[in-house]
Amino acid sequence: MSDLCFVMMPFGEKVNAANKKIDFDFVYDTLIKPAVIKAGLKPLREDESTLGGIVIKSMFQRIIFCEIAITDITFDNPNVYYELGIRHAVKPCTTIIICEKNHKTHPFNITGLRIIEYEYDFEKKEIKDIEKDINTLKNLLIEYKSKVDNIDPDSPIKLLLSEFEFPKVDNLKATADDFEDWVKQSQQKIENINKIVSEWKKLDAVFRRTKKQEILDAQQKKIEELKSIEDTLKPKPLKAYSVLIAVLKAYKDTNSNTYIKELLESSNFPVDVREKYVDLEERLAHAYKMLGEYDVAERMLSKLVDECNTEKLPWLTALLASIYKHKAEASNKEGKMGLANTRLKKAIELYSQSFEENPNDYYPGIRLLNLLYTTNLEDMKPKYFKYLPLVEFSIDRRLNKNKKEYWALVSRVELEVMKGNIQAAKDSAYTALDSHHAPWKRESTLKQLNKIANFKESFLKEDVSWIREIIEEIEE
């Protein structure tokens, strides 16, 4: 596995005790991955996927069998240190440690080890002198790659106990070769899945314009291609977890929620096993939501929220909030106003909880504002004005990172429409329409804008012709 480089690091945004925040996905995409590729290696990075607290088998295989590994120890992430410890126990060398230069609280266990530093600009959310850092890391990787059998030890075990006999992983070469083949096959399947989804979305855009049956038939053939990839995972889909997740995401992106339900409720996923995977339960609950089976989705999500102790909790809470919102809308249509208001307040409570747990995520914030604004309940107005500047800051923060992110842009449209800022709302709408996005995303946008427009017109007696103009632009 000489061409594979395993990267051990935190995922997403992390905050330290001093309230310093780093986007580690950005660090990976802009620093680590380019350096690895320029060194002629293939980067491997795996999200935390656990079963009963034990990291799945592929994680250990990558730690053991990848000839070279990079570890980012910034912010002392316990999972990263656990993986680094395993690596140091099985490999006397070829483990590169990197860290943000202002993070100086390394444990004494690794004091004295070589650490490559990079400097993260906490204001601009970027890495200073990034080209220099890429070259530094690239050159070290090339050195390790060319002298893999003749490199000074970097494992504290080898440095302190020179006579220590490391495991002879070469004896497991057949296993390593099988694993490398498995990695390549998995990557090829995931690339194929992404290609199929991209082709489906292009067909979807054409169908929405033409409504031709042959386009719909072509879309269904793409779904069948995804189904054939799913069939290759049987009878042990959990062994190819990354491919499984890619298939489930593809079904979600192509509105094939019935297939998600069928897959995750098949005999390959006994309930007691599936429930140990938060990702799988969350995806199944979301599928139930999209299929309109709100009671089942509510039961599943309530259980997940009660038991969850991971970083997914804010998202799970927001998803549960959306269930209560849909159930409130259903009760309202049935004329059950008391039940509708109870469910609406529960949705508001959960959206508030989700946003406060992770104010960096604007999504539950904008959903919260929309509910607070359109409920017409007097006691909700103070909450609306309390959260308004916080949500606005969260949206702006995301747009500062990606000025073309569709969901952030349309969230800004919603915000400006609620505030009555006509030109700002139109400007954001035009920018959103000019961004790369699937046409189906506009349906959700139209629903939210129509809800605000109807409230302004019916209860506030405002002229909403300018909002209708924006809606017409988005529809076209």
pLDDT band at 132 (very low <50, low <70, confident <90, very high): very high
Nearest to 250 by CA among 223, 279, 221, 211: 223
In this prediction, residues 342-350 reach a mean pLDDT of 95
What percent of the chain shows pLDDT beyond 70?
93
In the predicted structure, residue 188 carries a pLDDT above the cut 80:
yes
Q: How far apart are CA 245 and CA 4, in angstroms?
A: 22
Q: How far apart are CA 454 and CA 444, in angstroms?
A: 16
Nearest to 241 by CA among 197, 272, 278: 278
In the predicted structure, residue 295 carries a pLDDT above the cut 50:
yes
Collapsing DSSP to helix, strand or coil, 64 comes out as helix
Average model confidence (pLDDT) across the chain: 88
For residue 26, give both structure tokens: 């950005």
CATH of domain 4-167: 3.40.50
CA distances from 53 to 103, 303, 309, 414 (A): 28, 18, 12, 41
Q: Is the pTM of this model over 0.75?
A: no
In the predicted structure, residue 53 carries a pLDDT above the cut 80:
no
Residue 181 bridge partners (DSSP): none
Question: Could you state, in order of their start, the residue ranges of all structural domains in the chain?
Answer: 4-167
Q: Between these two residues, 383 and 167, which has the higher pLDDT value? A: 383
Q: 297 and 286 in contact (C-beta within 8 Å)? A: yes
Sign of CA dihedral 51, 54, 55, 60: negative
Residue 44 bridge partners (DSSP): 6
Q: 220 and 24 in contact (C-beta within 8 Å)? A: no
The kind and range of the H/E element at 128 are strand 126-128
Transcribe 2-39 into DSSP letters: TTEEEEE---SEEE-TT--EEEHHHHIIIIIHHHHHHT
